[in-house]
Amino acid sequence: MLPGAGTTIEPVDEERFSVLATGSSESAPIIMRVDGDGRLLETSLPRYGNQTPGLRYQYIPFGGLIDEEATFGGYTMPSRIRAGWWYDTNRYEESLRFRVTYAQPQ
């Protein structure tokens, strides 16, 4: 992600930065953690959902870990990801796990 119209990037700490993306009338901070080589390790954001008591819709912490990356057509990208609702809280439950085995950049 690069800064541009509707997007700003700010440091959080030595490993994390925040990307604030604005679309229509809403903004959502996406927190990304990278290693010293710039490899993406973790990402989190507030996601609108009803994984709450009473099934009320609200913004809920959502995020995950990037366990591996792979290169396809000269582009390196996350290739094994685990994520879920209530990320980084004691209510976290993994709800998504996938592996990218093929990609064709255009």
Give a yes or no: residue 25 inside a domain: yes
Give a yes or no: residue 63 inside a domain: yes
Residues in Cβ contact with 29 at an 8 Å cutoff, skipping those fewer than 6 apart:
18, 19, 20, 45, 46
- pLDDT the model gives residue 26: 78
| Domain assignment of residue 70, given as a range | 7-99
* Average pLDDT of the segment spanning 64-72: 97
What's the total number of domains in the chain?
A: 1
**Is the separation of the CB atoms in 68 and 79 below 8 Å?**
yes
Give a yes or no: residue 1 inside a domain: no
Give a yes or no: residue 106 inside a domain: no
Give a yes or no: residue 104 inside a domain: no
* Average pLDDT of the segment spanning 36-65: 94
